[in-house]
Amino acid sequence: MDDEWATPTFAFHGLDYIPSGYSGILAPYIETGPGTMRAAATLMRLDLIPTAITPPDPLSVVCDLGCGDGDFLIGLLAHVNRITHTTQATAVRGVGVDYNAELIKTATLNALSAGERVRWLTYDFNEDRDDLAGQLARQHVTHVFVYLVPKQLALRTVRGILTQFCEGGGVVCCHKFQPDYLTATRRDTLMDLVVYEMAAGLPTRGADRGPGFEGLRKSEILASQSDRGIVK
């Protein structure tokens, strides 16, 4: 591991979103606002109103990688479910991941009172000791939202998780900082959002993801959708 990461304090200096004077050991929780949340929903194409031609996609499960107290994720789910008129059976669900147990505790309570279905994981994806990409696949996650600093995006673990997810047909949306190992598909420059969505079977730019990252193939995702009666 990079020496800088071995020190208890994060190498946050010089990053514009870090509050001046911040000296905590855990990364600070900086919330993404509602305007950016709505723009992210649009860029990820989660807010398409179903029609006869585009029926509702009951598959969508959105993960916020580094979710803090869940405000962004809960707001996103509420927004999408409201405007796409989902039913309880077709509602977009969430998976929130953060290593700060206090924030996850708050997120759990907030989701309950908001009535949104979210699975919360207290988990350190920098260490990634328990195959997060595999866990996301088992939760049928289709979209991952990421607001992390460049050093985290560059970590082998985070790179492996995002690359494997993207190669499996998932949609990644990054706010403010972008990974240089994924190829951008579309962007919202005003809101500083970039989406990465791969055509099935194409390799990502970051070929070296280390052992254990075989990637979930599009066919496996389709098979899993078919098992659940989603793909005709």
Q: Which of residues 82-101 bind ligand SAM (CB under 6 A)?
A: 97-100
User: Which three-class secondary structure state does DSSP give residue 152?
Assistant: helix
State the nearest-atom distance from the C-beta of 179 to ligand SAM, in Å.
Answer: 15
Instruction: Describe the strand order of the beta sheet including 186-188 as a list of residue ranges.
Output: 118-122, 93-98, 61-65, 143-146, 171-175, 193-197, 186-188
Q: Which is nearer to ligand SAM, 31 or 220 (CB)?
A: 31
Do the beta carbons of residue 76 and residue 85 sit within 8 Å?
no
CA-based nearest residue to 63, from 151, 153, 170: 170
Quick one: which segment of 104-112, 119-127, 133-141, 222-230 binds ligand SAM (CB under 6 A)?
119-127
State the nearest-atom distance from the C-beta of 156 to ligand SAM, in Å.
Answer: 13
Do the beta carbons of residue 81 and residue 92 sit within 8 Å?
yes
Please select the residue that binds ligand SAM; options are 12, 15, 22, 29, rule is CB under 6 A.
29
178 binds ligand SAM (CB under 6 A): no
Structure-token pair, residue 19: 């509050």
Quick one: which segment of 44-52, 84-92, 109-117, 123-131 binds ligand SAM (CB under 6 A)?
123-131
Q: Which of residues 128-157 bind ligand SAM (CB under 6 A)?
A: 147, 152
Q: Is the dihedral of CA 205, 122, 131, 127 positive or negative?
A: positive
32 binds ligand SAM (CB under 6 A): yes
Start-to-end CA distance of the chain, whole Å, equals: 46
State the nearest-atom distance from the C-beta of 112 to ligand SAM, in Å.
Answer: 19
Structure-token pair, residue 118: 């979210």
Size of interface with ligand SAM, in residues (CB under 6 A): 21
User: Which three-class secondary structure state does DSSP give residue 216?
Assistant: coil
Q: Which is nearer to ligand SAM, 147 or 181 (CB)?
A: 147
Residues forming the site for ligand SAM (CB under 6 A): 26-27, 29-32, 64, 66-68, 72, 97-100, 103, 124-126, 147, 152
